[in-house]
Amino acid sequence: MSTWARLPAVARYALLVAAILAIWQAYVTLGHVQPLLVASPLDVAGAAWADLKDGQLEKATYNTLINLILGMIVGTLIGFALASFAVFSRIGQDLLTVLTSIFNPLPSIAILPLAMIWFGLQPKSIVFVVALATIWPVALNTDNGFRTISQTTQLAARNLGLRGWRLVTGVLLPAALPSIITGVKAAWAFGWRTVVAAELIFGVAGSAGGLGWYINNARYYLNTSNIFAGLVVISVLGILVEGMFGFIERRTVVKWGMKRAA
Amino acid sequence: MVVAEDVAVDYLNPAHHGRTTAIEDASFDVRRGETFVIIGPSGCGKTTLLKTIAGFMRPTRGKLLVEGHPAREPGPDRAVVFQDFDQLFAWRTVRDNVVYALRVARNTPVRAAREKADAMLALVDITRAADKYPHELSGGMKQRAAIARALALEPTMLLMDEPFGALDMITRNQLQIELKNIHRRTGVTIVLVTHSIQEAIYLGDRVMVMSRHPARIREIVDTHDQSDVESPRFAELTGKLRELLVHRDQELDVPEEAVL
Ligand SMILES: Nc1ncnc2c1ncn2[C@@H]1O[C@H](COP(=O)(O)OP(=O)(O)OP(=O)(O)O)[C@@H](O)[C@H]1O
Ligand SMILES: [Mg+2]
């Protein structure tokens, strides 16, 4: 085994990130790049620090996360409801098939203009498109999860006299959890891209502005360092959420032997 | 307990409007407190018959009464132990599997359910695995846990579909002895499906031999009180069942271990 492979994973990743940052910094300082085009890591850190100190960046992050979480909660609940309806009835299954065929290929950001007409220039519009981005991956994966529950598990549940809602919450949802987590992960990926894109287009100013708005605003004032700072926050949050999903999986489906550890 | 009169069960295949008859003209009765064994070649319809008694399916023709009523819905009064290992809920520990069953099927209060669960786990000798998740157990331990869960419900009938089929000989023999003890202590009525002639005679009060597909009843043999595998009577019964299963049916494909 090489020296590199023997290092712990965290050290390997940290070294790579440090190397990338160093090359980036060297490119900007030694290459005489227009600071208006590319900001150096140190400039970005400085800009991020300044906006963190006066609370602007936290506020933008908070607004984005609130819109995302609200949208995802609404979308996930509707997704669960559709999938549950689909396991219990033929018409529910057909409805799910028709709705997902229509809406799944449609990038939900394309609905934003409509949402703006319906809900106005308000965060409600963003929550709406995020929910729309979330419903289909959650519904499809949950439905698939329900359908692949082992026959014996289902018979054992029915043998206990479980039916209807209690069957869904007591057995179907936990048994389908590996697929459900996959669905929510996909929903998060769609939702996260959608919320940032929506904010970029949306551009509501002031207190309601999120990270997309923050970036667009920085572009308006040609604050390249701040654009980069916004992108870094988006990326770091993404990494944290992925880590959170990993944590949830280790505490549930991996612990229960329903999914192998990564 | 169970009375079957001319029961037939068909599977419908919606794809090509086909119909497979799994069971034909089955008439038998299961008496209270006995161990009633169903034996027959693979694919003859034993599982189908057990599922029909359990209420998962309905007879296509004929009459099947459980405690005097047609068996419609499955319920905890007819607790089923399946052959497959995934009958336990993977997201609950062994103890919680039993507690949950008592909570939802019998509305037992939490504390009472816990006490009962622990008593049942002790009965099948897996107390030390009580806090483990099913995937951490061996096959034999999973079957013990499934039996504990079924017994905890205090069913009027225990329906077992080849519960020891996937286990090694030693574990299998051990569980057979324990099941016999449990039966003696609780007096629960057991309907047991098996491939093994030895298991049928050892555990069964009566053994119902079924013929090849579509299953018909060939004979019901009295095998009560046969706990001495070495006895001449045991050997005689083994010969008789083997004769019924194999020699009268040339194209039969009973697995090797069943013809011991
Ligand atoms: N869901 C189904 N749809 C159609 N046919 C089925 C279905 N399940 C079982 N059958 C058929 O019914 C017959 C009886 O099946 P069953 O599972 O009851 O047999 P078995 O005696 O339990 O077999 P084994 O000993 O292998 O478990 C078989 O011919 C099988 O092909
Ligand atoms: Mg079977």
Is B160 within 8 Å of B191 (Cβ atoms)?
yes
Question: Which pLDDT tens digits describe chain B residue by residue (260 residues)?
Answer: 888 888 899 888 877 778 888 888 889 999 999 999 999 888 888 999 999 999 999 999 999 999 888 888 899 999 999 988 889 999 999 999 999 999 999 999 999 999 999 999 998 889 999 999 999 999 889 999 999 999 999 999 999 999 988 788 888 888 899 899 889 988 899 999 998 999 999 999 999 999 887 778 888 888 888 888 788 888 888 888 888 887 555 544 545 444 44
Stated as kind and residue range, the H or E segment containing B219 is strand B217-222
- Show the tokens assigned to B25: 């003209």
Prior bond to A107 cis, omega within 30?
A: no
Q: b or e along B29-47 (b: 16 or more beta carbons within 10 Å of the residue's beta carbon)?
A: ebeeebbbbbbbbeebbbb
Ligand 1 pocket at CB < 6 A = B 11, 20, 22, 40, 42-48, 213
Q: How far apart are CA A21 and CA A37, in angstroms?
A: 17
Question: Which residues of chain A neighbour B100 with C-beta distances below 8 Å?
Answer: 170
Is B144 within 8 Å of B124 (Cβ atoms)?
yes
Q: Count CB atoms within 10 A of the CB of residue B140.
A: 18
Whole-model pTM: value is 0.85
Assembly ipTM = 0.87
Listed residue (A182, A261, A251) closest to B91, CA to CA: A251
pLDDT digits (tens, 9 = 90+) for A157-186: 999 999 888 999 999 999 999 999 999 999
Residue position matching structure tokens 């697929």: A179
pLDDT for position A34: 83
Q: Count CB atoms within 10 A of the CB of residue A185.
A: 19
Stated as kind and residue range, the H or E segment containing B3 is strand B2-13
* B54 touches A: beta carbon within 8 Å: yes
Longest dimension (CA), chain B: 57
Domain spanning A44-254, CATH class: mainly alpha
Is B30 within 8 Å of B205 (Cβ atoms)?
no
* Domains and their CATH numbers in chain B: 2-77+155-258 (3.40.50.300), 88-154 (no CATH)
Ligand 1 mean position to B23 CA, how many Å? 10
Ligand 1 mean position to A152 CA, how many Å? 14
| Range with the largest mean pLDDT of A73-82, A203-212, B67-76 | A73-82
Could you tell me the CA-to-CA distances from A166 to A169, A170, B103, B249 in Å, in that order? 5, 6, 12, 47
pLDDT digits (tens, 9 = 90+) for A100-124: 999 988 998 999 999 989 988 888 8
Residue position matching structure tokens 């549930």: A252
Distance from CA of B91 to the nearest CA of A (A): 5
Residue type, B135: H
Question: CB distance B78–A159 less than 8 Å?
Answer: yes
Residue type, B191: V
pLDDT digits (tens, 9 = 90+) for A208-259: 788 988 998 888 888 899 999 999 999 999 999 999 999 999 999 999 999 8
The pLDDT of residue A153 is above 60: yes
Show me where the domains of chain A are located: 1-31, 44-254
pLDDT for position B253: 52
